[in-house]
Amino acid sequence: MATALMRELIAHARAAGVSSLHLGATADGKGVYTRVGFKPVRNQAMELDL
């Protein structure tokens, strides 16, 4: 369910013209973010270029 929710959020961000998303990821959540395309950038931060 978390993956589906993130995919929906990403779709809305793209439709709104957002070019990238940044978030702080916990160890438990990191897998969800990686599955939808986020990449680690430093420490627990992750980024997705749209």
pLDDT in tens, 5-41: 999 999 999 999 999 999 988 889 999 999 999 998 8
| Tally of domains within the chain | 1
**pTM recorded for the entire structure:** 0.78
pLDDT in the model for residue 19: 96
Separation CA 44–CA 18 (nearest Å): 22
Q: Where are the alpha helices (DSSP H) in the chain?
A: 2-15, 30-35
Tokens coding 9: 């959020």
Give me the domain span that covers residue 18.
2-49
